[in-house]
Amino acid sequence: MTNALVGLYVVTVLGLAVYGLLGFCALGLFLRHRHDSGQATTPVNWQTLPAVTVQLPVYNERAVIGRLIAAAAALEYPRDRLQIQVLDDSTDETTALAAEAVAEYAAAGLDISLVHRANRRGYKAGALGEGLAAARGEFIAIFDADFVPAPDFLLRTVPPLLADSAVGAVQARWGHLNDAESILTGAQAVALDKHFIIEQLVRFRAELFPKFNGSAGVWRRACVVDVGGWQDDTVCEDLCLSTRAVLAGWKFYFAADVVAPAELPPTITAYKAQQARWAMGGTQCLTKYAAPICRARQTPFARLYALLTMSAYFSNALVLLLVLVQIPLLLSEARLPVWLMPLGLAGLGQPILFALAQKTLYPDWPTRLRRLPALLLIAFGMAPNNSWAVWRGLFSRDVVFIRTPKGQTAGYHLSPGRMLAVEVALTVYSATALFLAISLGNSGAIVFLLTAVLSFSYVALLGLRESRTPKPVAAIIS
């Protein structure tokens, strides 16, 4: 029994070390490619710009729908070549608010329409697919409800598509509207900054299976059609389409200097919903495309990088498993291999990337690093939430797209669900293990278990505080 526990522990630590080393790999690639000039773009010729369709997929977004439509209507582009589609699946007053705004801008001469569906068949992918059938643009720009693109967005993202007919999509960098609102939103901003300015830059410039992030980007319609259009068998329709495009030989362009600000989830329950969807969708895409990626014509390193990044949420399950084996290991007084200790250094990869991203983007980066401890606690504390999502991505055939609520002050709320009880239980379990480690004088486990106690309790306390909010309308886990 003891040997089996030690073996499980060793395999878990090795798995976490692989994902940790992936961070150092991204660091090296970033240092190598950060000064690459990227793709040359053609100057904007207002007279010859092609038609663009802007798609705004929304579902029950009454708090932000007016802001979204206003931002789309303010885009600088020839009016005779700009089409805006509000793809609305709402079941509340969002539809009426959108209809009013659409009528106002249409009366002013803008080609804008409201496409309301009575069902959510295919969720976001279904809405985008139906909109594409009625789109007249050569290029398709997509903005989720929480985004506020700058007026010059299209003028800065369309040129790369014009410069190279092999480019299938252009992705802009996400900015933040409310990163100073709370510790939670500040922590999310640090995580997203790292993802975009380091991980996405590396993916695109090193040609390591670049991906579209679902919003604040422009697709070449011919590319979308060529690879089979939007598919709704995963909840990450963006990663699904991106992977098919890369496998088909299309190129991607990352407009790192174009920033589209968006609203960060203001509550821990909303953030859990977002992360669970990304974890589940990434896992679904892994099961769908692992074999095609292994057979792809890309380099072996590119294929390995794609598989590891697509499975990155598996690290949450490894963290959770590492917590759960602590008490049995402590009680058995097992002796762990000494050579495992240096592998702990692999865990420094991600924190280094977080700090580097802040230094790269902001002059006041030392001040912004104060958000890092909260991010690390939240990331650890989200392990049960994301592990459950990975499990569902592997074994559940029920594809349910749970949106991330925006504008919490408008009455959109999520209930913490049963996951809150799981987080409380893990807090108690980790505290028990910590007390046991201290009593046995096992110093090697104390730091890890203390981190577990702080992380699970912090996320649980945030959830408990939010659970007092009235009128919950949905649960993350049912």
Contact 88, 124 (CB under 8 A): no
Q: What is the pLDDT of residues 171-196, one digit of tens each?
A: 999 999 999 999 999 999 999 999 99
Looking at 89, 144, 179, 193, which residue is catalytic?
89
**Does the pLDDT value for residue 369 go beyond 50?**
yes
Please give the share of the chain, as a percent, with pLDDT higher than 70. Answer: 93
Identify which has the larger pLDDT, 318 or 443: 318
pLDDT tens profile 322-349:
999 999 999 988 888 888 888 888 989 9
pLDDT at 405: 64
Residue 472 host element (H or E): none
* 92, 233, 238, 398: the active-site residue: 238
The pTM of this model reads 0.92
Identify any residues that bridge with 56 across adjacent strands, giving them in sequence order.
86
**Is residue 411 over pLDDT 60?**
no
Q: What is the pLDDT confidence band of residue 4, given thresholds at 50, 70 and 90?
A: confident
CB atoms under 10 Å from CB of 378, counted, come to 22
Find all residues with CB under 8 Å of 116, minimum gap 6, and list them.
Answer: 88, 89, 90, 95
The predicted pLDDT at position 375 comes to 97
Average pLDDT of the chain to the nearest whole number? 92
CATH architecture of the domain covering 40-276 = Alpha-Beta Complex (3.90)
| Confidence band for 471, pLDDT divided at 50, 70 and 90 | very low
In which band, very low, low, confident or very high, does the pLDDT at 472 lie, cut at 50, 70 and 90?
A: very low
Judge whether 191 and 264 are in contact, CB under 8 Å: no
DSSP structure class, residue 341 = G
What is the predicted pLDDT for the residue at 257? 94
Helix 349-361 × helix 372-381 angle, to 10°: 140
| Model confidence at 151: pLDDT above 90 | yes
Query: Distance between CA 216 and CA 174 in Å, rounded?
Result: 7
CA–CA distance, 251 with 254 (Å, rounded to integer) = 10
* Residue that has been written with the tokens 């084996």 in this structure: 325
Q: Which residue has the tokens 């049960």?
A: 384
Is 89 designated active site?
yes
Mean pLDDT confidence for 219-241: 97
- Residue 238: active-site member: yes
